[in-house]
Structure 1
Amino acid sequence: MTMTTRQYRLTPGTTGLALQQDTRQLPLLAEDQILIRIGAVSLNYRDRLVQQDAATTRSGLVPLSDAAGTVVAVGRHVSQWREGDRVSPGFFAAWQDGPFKPHHLASALGGGSNDGVLSDYVIAQADAVVAVPDHLSLAEAAALPCAGVTAWHALFERGQLQAGETVLVQGTGGVAMMALQLASAHGARVIVTSSSTAKLRRAEALGAWATINYREEADWDKAVLDLTEGVGADHILELGGPATYTRSLNAVAHGGRIAQIGVLSGFDAAPHITPMQFKNASINGICVGSLAHHVRLNQFMTQHGIHPIIEHQFAFDEAPQAYSALAEANHMGKLVVTLD
């Protein structure tokens, strides 16, 4: 039986790549694949960069990397999944576990030449998905593959976060809010920076130990030192890029860790890193994470009953509006598109 699926593709427009909805026929399922009916997808800052990068993004690419849905068919050699299972594709289909390797990067969904998940149905390799935790909706599970796994990888896998340590997160986007929720549940003290007083109040309600409005306190690195009696932050999720990096170096504690994640202010951060030597501190490059990281994240969220922060849910036909909301950056946490 042949099936068709609605999907969005990025096609050349008047000002770069535009979202274009169409339908296509699904290929036959291979023996080691599963067919997933997508229930929800979420957007990341990366998706805006992919849309803007007409030079390297394949014309006709199906965008987005993060989704959750229900298995509706399995290949004849698939034994670990059955129809009705709720699953979420991993960000890197090829990165199962262990150290990151060069070939893993090429398997990322929704970027370059690899089709993503903004579609009614997605075919995935059976070993490239994880089970959705029972306590999460599909919309909540769709918020995790990039932002959730990134925060988990930075703090717990590479950072080895301990209760009582201080964590600084920049902004109130998807990675930052997941880091706030995860670190707070683990007993860490979380400092959140933002230019919005309203968002900082919401962050306090979510468990932030302290907040800094960087419009009112431009020298937010000094504010971090003041809050910590001169010690600094044990962990900094560096999400800003060139505009924030020097202050992150100033604010990190001796023996602390900076998780290099974001490029919100560009890709050309070139800070003077000598202070890291004399602080015996470290910088960890973080590019999302493996399926094993995703599984351990799900286990932690189940243990602590954590639900991701979703600012707004859009219908499938409203996907362009979701992209607009992403560009406006007025949200906290995640923006989600739900599918019927």
Structure 2
Amino acid sequence: MKAWQIGKRQGIDGLRQVERDHPVPGPGEIALDVIAAALNHRDLMVLRGKYGSDLPDTRIPLSDGVGRIAALGEGVSGLEEGHRVIAPNFTGWLDNGGYGFHVFGHDLGVTADGWLAERIVIPAAAAIKVPDSVSDDSAASLAVVGATVWHAMVAFGQAGDGDLVLAQGTGGVSLFALQLAKALGATFAITSSSDEKLERARELGADHTVNYRDNPDWAEAMLRSTGGRGADVVVDTLGFDSFGQTIAATAVEGRIGTIGALSGSPRDRPDFDQGSLIAKNIAVKGIASGHRGMLASALDLVAQHGIELVVDRTFAFDDAPAALEYLDRGAHMGKVLIDVAR
């Protein structure tokens, strides 16, 4: 079979396409013929040696994808050959109470082989059957953003009818947060540096949009747009480098699920107004993706509401490096996919 390997982790140029034997599922495992895979920012970090340590050159990348069951290992029940399935990237984190550092020991595309191959093997317990009504593109795009956003916005944030939800940027996380918020009956605010992307976000249902390039104090601009109302729930992709503005944009007793640091490096620790954080009684939680149950809930909602995740562009399997370069340029809106077997 064809597969891509991460190589020496010196960047996208280190990727190597190879021929490998088809993996065989062991007890409690299933083999999947991969249909499509999707990219995340973490994939770029893996290739640059900034995410995961002591990874072999032969590691297969990518944490998102959808596949069709090709073979069942010994002892597997409840699944059949031909079923389409997805899985959380932390395949050992199955439900509430199951989180610990051990989940990083089987992280698809990092400490375990990921989706960028014609066939992969995953634990059967992690697999979630995809309803017929959900497209391959949506299924392939859902695992990381679905589990992460559900954790931040619903399991922690308790977003629902009438709440105001804020997300920053127009990548896959923020756009799924928009789609999820509207399905839950919430109002939604989003930021971007592109008026064109903000117009597209409004077409998807965004109620408040702010161009942060035109409005460097984007929190104040958002509050003007909302009539002074802060966000009840924030899906924070920017991190501490912009945390002062995130706090300013958050309502009294708001909830901030912080999932990334796109506005600065992990070393950036500028001061922010801790007094406002305390005075507003804001709750902050770090979100390390989500467990299988959260992803299953997100998938159920996608099927129930007929949600099609936003896909910016799809690349051929042989063009995987070009797909990653496109993601790295940051001009995309939504997800970037790789077609593996269609």
Give the TM-score, by structure 1 length. Answer: 0.94
The runs of 5 or more residues in structure 2 that have no matched partner are none
Q: What is the Cα deviation at residue 51 of structure 1?
A: 0.8
User: Which residue does the alignment assign to 1:189?
Assistant: 187
Q: Which amino acid letter does the alignment assign opposite residue 300 of structure 2? A: Q
Percentage of pairs with the same residue = 36
1:194 partner letter: S
Deviations 1:58-109 (A, max 9, x none): 3222111111010011123111111110101221110000132221122211
For residue 170 of structure 1, what is the amino acid of its counterpart?
Q
* Residue aligned with 2:113, SS: coil
Measure the CA separation in 2 of the matches of 1:68 and 1:266.
31
Aligned to 2:106, what secondary structure does the other structure show? coil
Structure 2 contact 84–129 (Cα < 8 Å) conserved: yes
Checking the alignment, whether the CA contact within 8 Å between 2:12 and 2:321 is kept in structure 1 is no
Which moved further from structure 2: 6-15 or 127-136? 6-15
**Deviation digits for residues 24-47 of structure 1 (CA, Å, limit 9, x no counterpart):** 113432132111000000000111
1:301 equivalent in structure 2: 302
Per the alignment, in what secondary structure is the counterpart of residue 254 of structure 1?
strand
Partner of 2:162: 164
* Amino acid corresponding to residue 187 of structure 1 in structure 2: G
**Contact 1:255–1:279 (8 Å) recurs in 2:** yes
Equivalent residue runs for 1:37-186 within 5 Å: 37-53=33-49, 56=53, 57-99=55-97, 100-111=99-110, 113-186=111-184
Q: Is 1:267 aligned with 2:240?
A: no
Instruction: Measure, in 2, the Cα distance between the counterparts of 1:13 and 1:275.
Output: 41
| Cα shift readout 1:261-305 (whole Å, capped 9, x = no counterpart) | 112122235343332111111101111100011111111111111
Checking the alignment, whether the CA contact within 8 Å between 1:62 and 1:118 is kept in structure 2 is: yes
Residues 1:300 and 1:14: Cα distance change in structure 2 (over 3 Å): closer
The answer (yes or no) to whether the contact 2:137–2:309 under 8 Å persists in 1 is no
Counterparts of residues 204-223 of structure 1 (less than 5 Å): 204-223=202-221
Match of 2:320 in 1: 319
Find the aligned partners of 2:318 and 2:177 in 1 and give their Cα distance.
Answer: 31
Counterpart residue identity of residue 141, structure 2: A
**Match of 1:285?**
286
Q: What whole-Å deviation, never above 9, does each CA across 1:116-174 have from its counterpart, x for those lacking one?
A: 11000011111011111221222220101101221111111111112111111100001
Take 2:154 and 2:87, find their aligned partners in 1: how far apart are those partners? 21
Partners of 1:198 and 1:163 in 2: CA distance? 28
Unaligned runs of 5+ in 1: none
Structure-2 change in CA distance of 1:16 and 1:125 (3 Å) = closer
Report the counterpart of residue 31 of structure 2 in structure 1: 35
Amino acid in the other structure paired with 1:29: P
Alignment CA distance shift 1:210-1:284 (3 Å): same
Does the 8 Å CA contact 1:47/1:63 hold for their aligned counterparts? yes
Query: Which residue, 233, 239, 242 being the options, matches 2:231?
Result: 233
Are 1:24 and 2:20 an aligned pair?
Answer: yes
Q: Which has the higher strand share?
A: 1
Normalised TM-score (structure 2): 0.94
How far apart, in 2, do the equivalents of 1:268 and 1:174 lie? 25
Aligned-partner SS, 1:313: strand
- Tell me the distance in 2 between the aligned counterparts of 1:138 and 1:335: 13
Q: Which residue is 1:276 aligned to?
A: 277
Amino acid at match of 1:40: A
Task: Tell me if 1:310 matches 2:314.
Answer: no
| Contact kept in structure 2, 1:242 and 1:268, CA below 8 Å | no
Q: Which moved more, 1:139-148 or 1:6-15?
A: 6-15
Letter in 2 for 1:43: L
Corresponding residue for residue 332 of structure 2: 331
- The secondary structure found in structure 1 opposite 2:16 is strand
Cα distance in 1 between the residues matched to 2:265 and 2:182: 29
Quick check: 1:202 aligned with 2:162?
A: no
Range that drifts further, 231-240 or 61-70 = 231-240
